[in-house]
Structure 1
Amino acid sequence: MATIKDVAKLAGVGVGTVSRYLSGNASISAESGSKVAAAMAELNYRPNSIARSLSSKKSNIIGLWVPSFSGSFHRKMLQTIERELRKRDKHIILANAEDAKTDEERIACLDYLIERDCDGILMSCPELSVFELAKIEARYPKIVFINRSLDALNEKTFYPNHYLGGRLAAQHLVELGHTKIAVVTGRMNAQDAQSRHRGFLDELASSGIEMHEELIECGGYGFKQGAEATERLLKKEQPFTALFCGNDNSAMAAISTMKKHGIEAGKDISVIGYDDIDLAEFTSPSMTSIHVPLEDISRNACHQILNLCYGEELPVQNHFEPKLSIRDSTQRLKQLK
């Protein structure tokens, strides 16, 4: 296996010149750079990543903090970010706050990444307060927030307009003639869930439709929580013809749970989800959902962390608009049984 000394000898330059070339140091001449590149190619030399990071004082590692890896939403985020980093020979370390109950426990997950010398951190943090996020950014400036809106750190936040997403969902159900509508929310201590729910209620109110409190249940974002919330709704004596769920996992759980009670989504009750994950169009019936452009959001957030950490000048877009994806799980009221 070729060494840096072998490259230097073949190129006719010093070892220090090869080292500066590998670290991206612009102080070497174009001629020397060409000789080093040619020698590396001839010897099939691959630089040692650890040695290179010591030389450049960069680990070439980006940390990713998410609340959980259990859902399709964050898996898609991870896949997109990892792909973008790999294109630029960067790597990823993961942390999640699946079992965290307090802000202190959530921040401890962030400390895990900081202690591993990540050059920068991408953080999806719907449950931490604006105050806590501002403190984190002050302590660790090379950080970018995904799925959060922070006016004071606008250039470091990448998020969809969840308020609009909620309004689009309500608008669709109203246009289909529904007035008796139930909701399974996400975790209401999270900014995205709050914005989505507020938009939904505001659109109903602007259409003159009253939302009954007894038809609102918190379902979190998991299948089990969604199923349990749907069961609670069905046990009540308040009828409804349409159901809006805070994410697609909850909506799929609702469709399955209602079917056990002899209720068919798209035939007896209209059901609409949120996020529009890949699986949504393959459920039975195919599921209407609010499409969140998660790949675009994740890609742009990744570009920004590369800009902050490595001096790149990649273009970025911070704010994104959701769209309605209409499928078979929602129907006009008069077409329901």
Structure 2
Amino acid sequence: MATIKDVAKLAGVGVGTVSRYLSGSASVSSASGEKVASAMAELNYRPNSMARSLSSKRSNIIGLWVPSFSGSFHRKMLQTIERELRKRDKHIILANAEDAKTDKERIGCLDYLIERDCDGILMSCPELSVVELARIEARYPKVVFINRDIEELIDKTFCVNHYQGGRLAAEHLIELGHKEIAIVTGRMNAQDALSRHQGFIDRLAEEGIEVDADLIEHGGYSFELGKEATQRLIDKKRPFTALFCGNDNSAMAAIATFNKQGIAVGKQMSVVGYDDIDISQYTSPAMTSVRIPLEDISINACHQLLNLCYGESLPIQTRFEPTLSVRESTHSVK
């Protein structure tokens, strides 16, 4: 197996020149760089990544912290970020807070990534308070937050206007003539879930429509929780013609539950989801959902972390607007 000394000898340069070339140093002339590259190719030389990281004091590893690996939302986020990092020869270490019950346990997941010498960390952390996030940023400046809106950290927080997302869902149901409306919320201790819920309620109130408290069920982000919440609404025997769900998993579970009960979605019942994950258009009927530009958010957050960690100057956008994808799960009652 070829060594760095073999490369230097064949290229006719010093070992230091080869080392600087491998670390990306600008002090290596283009002529010397071409000789080193040619020698590496001829010898089929592969630099030791650990040795390179030690010399540059960089691991070329980015940490990603998410609440859960389950569900299409975070899977799409992970795929997008991993693809962007791979383009720049960076790698990823994952941590999730699936079983965490307290902020202390959630922050323990962050410590896991810090201890593995990540150059920077991306965090999707809807349940941590603004105070905790500010403490994290002060302790570990090379961090970027996804799906959070914090004015004091505007250049490190990347998110969509969830309040407007809730308003879009309400506006659609208002236009269709719905007045008796039920809600299955997301986790209401999360900033994004609370914002979309408030936007939905506020837009209805502007039209004089008040949601009956008995028709609001607190759900989560899983199919099972969505199914259970929808069944509770049905069991109450209170009339409603439309249901807004805090995420697509809950909405898909609701559609399945209504269909099983003989309630035809898109004809007798309107259902609106949130996120517009890829599978939304393949439900039966295809689901109307508020679309979150998750790929754009993830790419821009990733670019900002690359700027912070590796001195790049990638352009970024921190705030995004939702849109509404109208499909067959909603119908007019006018």
TM-score class, shorter: over 0.9
Opposite residue 93 of structure 1, the aligned amino acid is I
1:6-85 superposed matches below 5 A: 6-85=6-85
Residues 55-76 of structure 1 show CA distances to partners (whole Å, capped at 9, x for unaligned) of 1110000000000011100000
Opposite residue 77 of structure 1, the aligned amino acid is M
Query: What's the TM-score, normalizing by structure 1?
Result: 0.98
Aligned to 2:182: 182
Aligned to 1:152: 152
Residues 285-329 of structure 1 show CA distances to partners (whole Å, capped at 9, x for unaligned) of 000000000001001101011110001111111001100000000
Opposite residue 273 of structure 2, the aligned amino acid is G
Once residues 36 and 6 of structure 1 are traced to their aligned partners in structure 2, the CA distance between those partners, rounded to angstroms, is 10
**Cα shift at 1:33:** 1.8
Once residues 5 and 146 of structure 1 are traced to their aligned partners in structure 2, the CA distance between those partners, rounded to angstroms, is 44
**Cα shift at 1:31:** 2.4
Query: What's the TM-score, normalizing by structure 2?
Result: 0.99
Opposite residue 43 of structure 2, the aligned amino acid is L
**Cα shift at 1:29:** 2.6
- The secondary structure found in structure 2 opposite 1:231 is helix
Aligned to 1:297: 297
Instruction: Please say which of residues 5-14 and 119-128 is displaced more in the overlay.
Output: 5-14
Once residues 30 and 279 of structure 1 are traced to their aligned partners in structure 2, the CA distance between those partners, rounded to angstroms, is 49
Residue 119 of structure 2 corresponds to residue 119 of structure 1? yes
Residues 66-118 of structure 1 show CA distances to partners (whole Å, capped at 9, x for unaligned) of 00011100000000000000000000000000000000000000000000000
Residues 122-142 of structure 1 show CA distances to partners (whole Å, capped at 9, x for unaligned) of 000000000000000000000
Structure 2 gaps of 5+ residues are none
1:126-205 superposed matches below 5 A: 126-205=126-205
Aligned to 1:219: 219
Once residues 285 and 11 of structure 1 are traced to their aligned partners in structure 2, the CA distance between those partners, rounded to angstroms, is 65
Aligned to 1:247: 247
Aligned to 1:269: 269
**Cα shift at 1:44:** 2.5
Residues 240-261 of structure 1 show CA distances to partners (whole Å, capped at 9, x for unaligned) of 0000000000000001111121
Opposite residue 117 of structure 1, the aligned amino acid is D
Once residues 167 and 9 of structure 1 are traced to their aligned partners in structure 2, the CA distance between those partners, rounded to angstroms, is 67
Instruction: Please say which of residues 4-13 and 270-279 is displaced more in the overlay.
Output: 4-13
Aligned to 1:325: 325
**Cα shift at 1:45:** 1.9
Structure 1 gaps of 5+ residues are none
- The secondary structure found in structure 1 opposite 2:154 is helix
Once residues 68 and 20 of structure 1 are traced to their aligned partners in structure 2, the CA distance between those partners, rounded to angstroms, is 41
Once residues 45 and 312 of structure 1 are traced to their aligned partners in structure 2, the CA distance between those partners, rounded to angstroms, is 27
Residues 216-235 of structure 1 show CA distances to partners (whole Å, capped at 9, x for unaligned) of 11111100100010011111
Give the fraction of aligned pairs with identical amino acids, expressed as a percent.
77
**Cα shift at 1:237:** 3.0
Instruction: Please say which of residues 37-46 and 79-88 is displaced more in the overlay.
Output: 37-46
Instruction: Please say which of residues 40-49 and 324-333 is displaced more in the overlay.
Output: 40-49
- The secondary structure found in structure 2 opposite 1:45 is coil
Aligned length: 334
Opposite residue 49 of structure 1, the aligned amino acid is S
Opposite residue 199 of structure 2, the aligned amino acid is G
Once residues 150 and 270 of structure 1 are traced to their aligned partners in structure 2, the CA distance between those partners, rounded to angstroms, is 34
Which ranges of 4 or more aligned residues in structure 1 deviate by more than 6 Å?
A: none
Opposite residue 304 of structure 2, the aligned amino acid is Q
CA RMSD in angstroms, aligned pairs only = 0.8
Once residues 288 and 29 of structure 1 are traced to their aligned partners in structure 2, the CA distance between those partners, rounded to angstroms, is 58
Instruction: Please say which of residues 34-43 and 199-208 is displaced more in the overlay.
Output: 34-43
**Cα shift at 1:41:** 2.3
- The secondary structure found in structure 2 opposite 1:178 is coil
